[in-house]
Amino acid sequence: MNEVVHYKSEDNYAIITIANGKANAISHEVIEGLNAGLDKAEQENKIVILTGQPGIFSAGFDLKVMTKSPESAKGLVTKGSRLSLRMLSFPKPIIVACSGHAIAKGAFLLLSADYRIGVEGDFKIGLNEVMIGMTMHHAGIAIARAKLSHTYLDRSVNNSEIYNPKDAVKAGFLDTIVPENNLLTTAIKVAKMLSQLNKKAHAATKLKVRRPHLKALEKAIELDLQEEISINP
The domains found in the chain, sorted by start residue, are 5-182 (3.90.226.10)
CA nearest neighbour of 93 among 229, 3, 171, 201: 201
pLDDT of residue 14: 98
What pTM, to 2 d.p., does this model score?
0.96
| pLDDT of 19 above 80 | yes
The per-residue pLDDT for range 80-120, each reduced to its tens digit, is 999 999 999 999 999 999 999 999 999 999 999 999 999 99
| pLDDT of 231 above 90 | no
* Arithmetic mean of pLDDT, 145-169: 96
Report the C-alpha gap between 42 and 23 in whole angstroms: 28
pLDDT of residue 63: 92
pLDDT tier at 232, thresholds 50, 70, 90: confident
The per-residue pLDDT for range 63-76, each reduced to its tens digit, is 999 999 999 999 99
pLDDT of residue 172: 97
pLDDT of residue 233: 63
pLDDT of residue 48: 98
Report the C-alpha gap between 197 and 133 in whole angstroms: 43
| pLDDT of 1 above 80 | no
pLDDT of residue 230: 83
pLDDT of residue 2: 82
pLDDT tier at 209, thresholds 50, 70, 90: very high
Percentage of the chain modeled with pLDDT above 70: 100
* Arithmetic mean of pLDDT, 174-193: 98
**What single-letter amino acid sits at 207?**
L
